[in-house]
Amino acid sequence: MASKELLDFLNKAIARELQVTIQYMWQHVLWKGVKGFAVKDELKAIAITEMKHAEEIAERLAYLGGVPTTTPEPIFVGGTLKEMIEKDKKDEEGAVKLYKQIIDVAGKEKDETTRRMFEKILADEEEHLDTFTGLLEEI
């Protein structure tokens, strides 16, 4: 049986994934201009990946006996492309930190399925962080 700590971490991860799914999709929809045109498809692709993460984590949480949250972390769309990408970068940095904690706790609890799942998700989040870091160099 998973600990309350692990279940709470999974719900925190779901809330984060819901947040960035909406945040990145709305940024994709609302941003205009040449620079926005260059990144809007990437924002959409990342949003879809984040949505899939939310679903995968929710399924795992439910399997472990928890109830997935439906409340996202606070959503920030932003006014300028630079504001958006700076916030997105910070959100991905937070995800990397959180998911490393989840991997650690799952490992201590000998929950190999959750640990492996988050190692895969962590790789995606590190890729997203790299994307946003690179985009900031051009804005």
Look up residue 89 and give its two tokens.
């970068």
Q: Note the CATH architecture for domain 4-136.
A: Up-down Bundle (1.20)
For residues 52-67, give the mean pLDDT: 98
For residues 47-53, give the mean pLDDT: 98
List the chain domain ranges: 4-136
Mean pLDDT, all residues of the chain: 94
* pLDDT at 91 > cutoff 80: yes
* pLDDT at 33 > cutoff 80: no
Look up residue 36 and give its two tokens.
């926005």
* pLDDT at 17 > cutoff 90: yes
Q: What 3 state SS string does 4-28 have?
A: HHHHHHHHHHHHHHHHHHHHHHHHH
